[in-house]
Amino acid sequence: MSLMSGFEKIVRQGEPLAMYTWFQLGGPAEYFAEPETVDELIALVRRCHEEKVPARLLGQGSNILVRDEGAPGLVIRLAAPAFCEIRVEGRSIVAGGGALLGRVVTTAVHGGLAGLETLIGIPGTVGGALHGNAGTRGGNIGQWTLQATVVTASGEVCQRGNDELIFGYRESSLDDLAILEVRCDLEEDDPRQLAQRMQRHWIAKKASQPMGHQCAGCVFKNPRGSSAGELIDRAGLKGTRIGGAVVSDRHANFIIAEPECTSQDVLRLIELVRSQVHDRMGIELKLELEVW
Ligand SMILES: Cc1cc2nc3c(=O)[nH]c(=O)nc-3n(C[C@H](O)[C@H](O)[C@H](O)COP(=O)(O)OP(=O)(O)OC[C@H]3O[C@@H](n4cnc5c(N)ncnc54)[C@H](O)[C@@H]3O)c2cc1C
């Protein structure tokens, strides 16, 4: 039995991935699916498991660079309404893995629930945010997360409780295939004051990052006690270009993709920045961006 049979309605072959990522670069997925329901997702994951086809989740593609050759196996997007619900339950907010993080933040703020407002302006989905423990200096999603519902690589649905969840700097212990739903336990506060706080975070975020360009977020993680952007700046690399890929003048830890840029240009620029920072400062930068 092939991966497609029985799933013709939701699985496509050779779907270009560039349009699903913030970089807007890279080749197609071997297989690509947007299931409509949880049951459909589970059946598809089980089929992949049986057929030994590697599967992976794509959120909003704001932290991914797809190689020019594309991605082997199945790429799954949880864009259907069944995966994007957001509801407030007392002091908790419960959100589907495909829900946009920004919508979750504003729903919490309007509901008078504090904690997530520091995350305003971070693109992407709740699933992507939890996978990489998205955050800012003001906080991260993991610190508010009480529970996650996941689908494992073999197609089992499991709950991961507080005691099983470990969050670090841009990483989490959640390595299950798909994050289906997240419950965050927040603090009550005045919605008007919260909205003002959220706006201040939004303004600060807009001021610090290159907006309106084709790019992902920070390319490198901050090494302990220092800032990757500052190191790259001190190495004199702002504005450095390979093909259509340029180190941002505004924030040196961002790479901008100009027209005609390829993923290979970005990968070569990443290697150049990494080796120059290493040679000049003796510090090994690690990737925050994920390369597929
Ligand atoms: C302009 C800009 C600013 C940014 N600022 C910040 C910032 O301040 N702080 C910060 O932390 N990040 C920042 N980022 C990076 C990015 O927004 C975050 O990493 C975001 O959480 C990624 O979410 P996504 O849905 O786009 O995930 P993707 O990029 O699509 O995927 C990232 C990873 O998450 C996994 N994943 C996605 N959805 C699921 C799911 N449902 N279940 C399981 N795994 C899943 C993917 O398989 C992949 O491994 C920024 C990015 C941009 C473009």
Average pLDDT, the chain: 94
Band (216; pLDDT cuts 50, 70, 90): confident
* C-alpha distances in Å from residue 79, one per residue of 24, 35, 92, 175, 239: 18, 8, 23, 20, 36
Catalytic annotation, pick one of 170, 183, 197, 274? 170
Say how far apart CA 102 and CA 274 lie, in whole Å: 31
- pLDDT over threshold 80, residue 133: yes
Say how far apart CA 64 and CA 70 lie, in whole Å: 12
Cβ atoms of 111 and 99 closer than 8 Å: no
Structural Rg of the chain based on CA atoms:
20
* Of 273 and 4, the one with more pLDDT: 273
Band (209; pLDDT cuts 50, 70, 90): confident
pLDDT for the residue 6: 86
Q: How far is the CA of 2 from the centre of ligand 1 (A)?
A: 31
Which ligand 1 atom is at minimum distance from the Cα of 64? 29
- pLDDT over threshold 90, residue 25: yes
What are 151-192's pLDDT values in tens digits? 999 999 999 998 889 999 999 999 999 999 999 999 999 999
Band (1; pLDDT cuts 50, 70, 90): low
pLDDT for the residue 3: 74
DSSP 92-148: EEEEETTSBHHHHHHHHHHTTEESGGGGTT--SBHHHHHHTT-EETTEEGGGGEEEE
Residues near 291 by beta carbon (within 8 Å), at least 6 away in sequence:
64, 65, 67, 267
**Residue 170 bears catalytic tag:** yes
Q: Which amino acid is at 212?
A: G
pLDDT for the residue 7: 87
- pLDDT over threshold 90, residue 268: yes
Cβ atoms of 89 and 108 closer than 8 Å: no
Displacement of CA 171 from its chain's centroid (Å): 11
pLDDT for the residue 162: 86
Candidates 34, 11, 129, 21; CA nearest to 66 is: 21
User: CA triplet 145, 147, 152: central angle to 5 degrees?
Assistant: 120
Using CB distances shorter than 6 Å, the residues near ligand 1 are 22, 56-64, 78, 97, 122-125, 127-129, 131-132, 134-136, 170, 178-179, 209, 215-217, 290
φ, ψ dihedrals at 14, nearest 5°:
70, 30
Band (210; pLDDT cuts 50, 70, 90): confident
- pLDDT over threshold 70, residue 254: yes
